[in-house]
Amino acid sequence: MLKIDRTKVDDYVVLKLDGEVDASNSVELDLAIQELVAGNEEKILVDGTSLEYISSAGLGVFMSYLEDIQEKRMKFIIFGLNNKVKNVFHILGLDQLLQIEDNEIQALELLYEG
Amino acid sequence: MRVELKLHCEKSRLSELRLFLTDLLADIALSEIKKNQIILAVEEVCSNLIIHSHECNPKDSILLNVRKDKHKITFEIKDSGKAFNILEYQEPQLADVIRERRKGGLGIMLVKKIMDSIEFETSNNHNICRLTKSLNSQ
């Protein structure tokens, strides 16, 4: 089960993921991010505090937007991952390629720095 | 002890696989992070078979056999679809995955990083992928 909620706050968007991302539902995550990228949102926060599990299907979705994020100079920050989920990003070194912060406060600081 | 799970080839079955594995690993002295890695690796192999070898045909099924020993746990995943030899599969480079905006290709990389040994054999239309994780490894 995966629930995705989108909230616009000032000039940024929070995508809250609740549940588990696997091959059965990663397309939902893909569509949610695709909409934001296509809509030219420049600041996106992914709230992973309620994300219980992620498999390669979910990792693949994030990885597939890395080029867009760079080309469009978007801010794309994931925060609040529990240790198990964070470790899955770490196994392949994806935590070095994506911006991952511990909590919302740190994510917001990063959003507005520079 | 040996336990078996038959899984029909639908992606929606993956959550049942995770529940099965979570129960199975409950009494094993490994950190939650390590247990999650093992669940992930087994799921990656199964979802690969379900999607690529069986094209999500719910009439097909795969069979997971788990053997718990004192120092290791062995997962045997048996199917009769198109043979997918995980050992011969050349996983893509991470840089190519990013450049080509590919959404797949990371699963097998995870399995190879997580498991201590991976074996593959095929005979009489059956393919067996055997994953072993040592319980002593840190």
Looking at the 3D structure of chain A, how many domains does it have? 1
* Structural domain includes residue A112: no
* Structural domain includes residue A22: yes
- Residue spans per domain, chain B: 2-134
Q: How many CB atoms lie within 10 A of CB B134?
A: 13
Q: Indicate the helix (H) or strand (E) that contains A74.
A: none
Q: How far apart are CA A85 and CA A82, in angstroms?
A: 6
ipTM of the complex: 0.94
* Structural domain includes residue A94: yes
Q: Which domain holds residue A28?
A: 2-106
CATH of the domain at A99: 3.30.750.24
Which one of A21, A55, A82, A85 makes the best mutation probe of the B interface by having the most chain B beta carbons within 10 Å? A55
Instruction: Check residue A94 and give its pLDDT.
Output: 94
Instruction: Check residue B33 and give its pLDDT.
Output: 97
Mean pLDDT, rounded, for B88-100: 83
Query: For residues B38 and B87, which has the higher predicted lDDT (pLDDT)?
Result: B38
Dihedral sign for Cα A4, A8, A9, A12, please. Answer: positive
* Structural domain includes residue A114: no
pLDDT in tens, A12-30: 999 999 999 999 999 999 9
pLDDT at A34 over 90: yes
* Structural domain includes residue A12: yes
Contact B36 A87 (CB under 8 A): yes
* Structural domain includes residue A63: yes
* Structural domain includes residue A102: yes
Q: Which CATH superfamily is domain B2-134 in?
A: Histidine kinase-like ATPase, C-terminal domain (3.30.565.10)
Query: For residues A79 and B100, which has the higher predicted lDDT (pLDDT)?
Result: A79
Q: How far apart are CA A49 and CA B98, in angstroms?
A: 25
Candidates B43, B101, B110; nearest CB to A92: B110
Which one of B103, B108, B113 makes the best mutation probe of the A interface by having the most chain A beta carbons within 10 Å? B103
For residue B68, count CB atoms less than 10 angstroms from its CB and return exposed for 0-12, middle for 13-18, buried for 19 or more.
middle
